[in-house]
Amino acid sequence: MISEKMSVMVKNSSITRAMFEEGKRLAAIYGKENVYDFSLGNPSVQPPVSVKEAVIDIVTNEETTFVHGYMNNSGYEDVRENIAVHLNKIHSTSFHKDNIIMTVGAAGGLNVILKTLLNPGDEVVVFAPFFGEYRNYADNYDGKLVVISPDKETFMPNLKELEEKLTGNTKAVIVNTPNNPTGVVYSEETIKELSKVLEKKQQEFGNPIYLISDEPYRELVYGDVFVPYLTKYYKNTIVGYSYSKSLSLPGERIGYLVIPKEAEDYEEIFAAASVATRILGFVNAPSLIQRVVARCLDSEVDISVYNENRELLYNSLKEYGYSCAKPEGAFYLFVKTLEEDDKAFCERAKKHNILLVPGVAFGCAGYCRIAYCVSKSTIEGALPGFKKLYQEYQEER
């Protein structure tokens, strides 16, 4: 009796569920510590201690009906203003509270903005490999996903193909940098070129094309890598942010949308997004944690742990013979699978108790994603398996 759409979704979700079940099954046989689960982007680094301090201080000293009560659907005004000021300080932008809508994580924010923008049949462009949920989010509002094929050399956006695939029906383009699943960060030059293409095309079609920047990994970059703030390059940019990774709070479902005043039809979009937040059943982002993140704007998690994992895993896999680009951000490695069929490869990795996600889940076959937001011991435990797996494939040649 479930809806036809959901029947398809449940079927599509079965890979992830099967993996989860398989992980449990393997753990039961071999012990949890001997199963190496690289399938989930669940941060292993603890939230900064400021989070705990803020929680305790707020529930102890602030008025409880205020802390746990309803506020504007778009969020507490002081929280939104503090976030705007913080963004301005870091990015030299000029946002106010009326550019910020607090959301139930970035996933909630993306749904709110797509609900706000999409008429049935409107096109949403994504660059492969991409976070598979974008397809579902667009489908929630009967949007049509248009996929730009991957540049398997650099995993930078294929702007030539973008230019060809933008149409009068394109309502939005989603980018995700630092990227899940590749870990690449789009350079300033790439962003400038991307903006040029969008400017040209929206002029040609006479419709705004909104660039939706999905930014849960913004702060997770290694070394001196610069992550451009996209509203400064293209005025029809809408940012979807999440504290899931930057403060290790993925379960709390807290993030925000930035809708700049410069964006075409800003007022209409801002008003509609606030209403969409309510209508979709979010109502508002969770209240206590809104107040908590506003006090932790200068805090960050210790990403040196992820960096060590990255170095260890990347260097070891390269040494064994695997081929993959070194990620500059996020906590994923996107590795070429040792046979074309990435699902078959991931199946085979399971024999070494290693759980990976096949690239097809991101619209990019022939690769697999390794989420290295795990304990160092998980990586150390898995390395002999990765090595053997490579040797097995060599021996069969």
Q: State the DSSP string of 168-222.
A: TTEEEEEE-SSPTTT-----HHHHHHHHHHHHHHHHHHTS--EEEEEETTTT-B-
Among 34, 119, 149, 391, binds a second copy (CB under 8 A): 119
**Interface with a second copy includes 299 (CB under 8 A)?**
no
Q: C-beta of 171: minimal distance to a second copy in Å?
A: 8
Going by C-beta distance under 8 Å and a sequence separation of 6 or more, which residues neighbour residue 51? 247, 249, 292, 296, 299
Q: What is d(CA 360, CA 355) in angstroms, rounded to the nearest whole number?
A: 15
Choices 134-142, 174-182, 306-314, 341-349 (CB under 8 A): range interacting with a second copy: 134-142
Neighbouring C-alpha atoms within 13 Å toward the C-beta of 114 = 30
Q: What is the DSSP letter of 239?
A: E
Site map (CB under 8 A) of a second copy, residues 184-223, x = contact: -----------------------xx-x-------------
d(CA 286, CA 104): 7
Report in angstroms how near the CB of residue 7 gets to a second copy at its nearest. Answer: 8
Buried b / exposed e along 239-264 (16+ C-beta atoms within 10 A): bbbbbbbbbbbbebbbbbbbbbeebe
Chain length of the chain: 397
Does residue number 132 form part of the binding site for a second copy (CB under 8 A)?
no
Q: Which stretch binds a second copy (CB under 8 A): 56-64, 193-201, 338-346, 348-356?
A: 56-64
* Binding flags for a second copy, 340-379, as an x/- string (CB under 8 A): ----------------------------------------
State yes or no: residue 316 binds a second copy (CB under 8 A): no
Strands 357-358 and 367-371: antiparallel
Binding segment toward a second copy, per CB under 8 A, in 99-107, 173-181, 318-326, 354-362: 99-107
24, 28, 69, 321: which one binds a second copy (CB under 8 A): 69
Sole window of 31-39, 59-67, 81-89, 344-352 interacting with a second copy (rule: CB under 8 A): 59-67
**Contact call for residue 271 and a second copy (CB under 8 A):** yes
Residue from 47, 129, 150, 216 in contact with a second copy (CB under 8 A): 47
> What contacts 364, CB < 8 A, 6 or more positions away?
128, 129, 150, 152, 181, 334
Told to check if 253 binds a second copy by CB under 8 A, we report yes
- Decide: 99 and 259 in contact? Cβ < 8 Å: yes
104 binds a second copy per the rule CB under 8 A: yes
Residue 18 near a second copy by CB under 8 A? no
Cβ-based nearer residue to a second copy, 93 or 140: 140
Residues 71 and 97 sit within 8 Å (Cβ to Cβ): no
Binding of a second copy at residue 43 (CB under 8 A)? yes
* Touching a second copy, residues 165-184 (CB under 8 A): 171
- Counting contacts by CB under 8 A, is residue 251 touching a second copy? yes
- Under rule CB under 8 A, residue 282 binds a second copy: yes
Number of residues that bind a second copy (CB under 8 A): 80
What's the helix, strand, coil split of the chain in %, to 5? 50, 15, 40
Identify residue 154 by its one-letter amino acid code.
Answer: T
Residue 164 and residue 167: Cα distance in Å, rounded?
A: 8
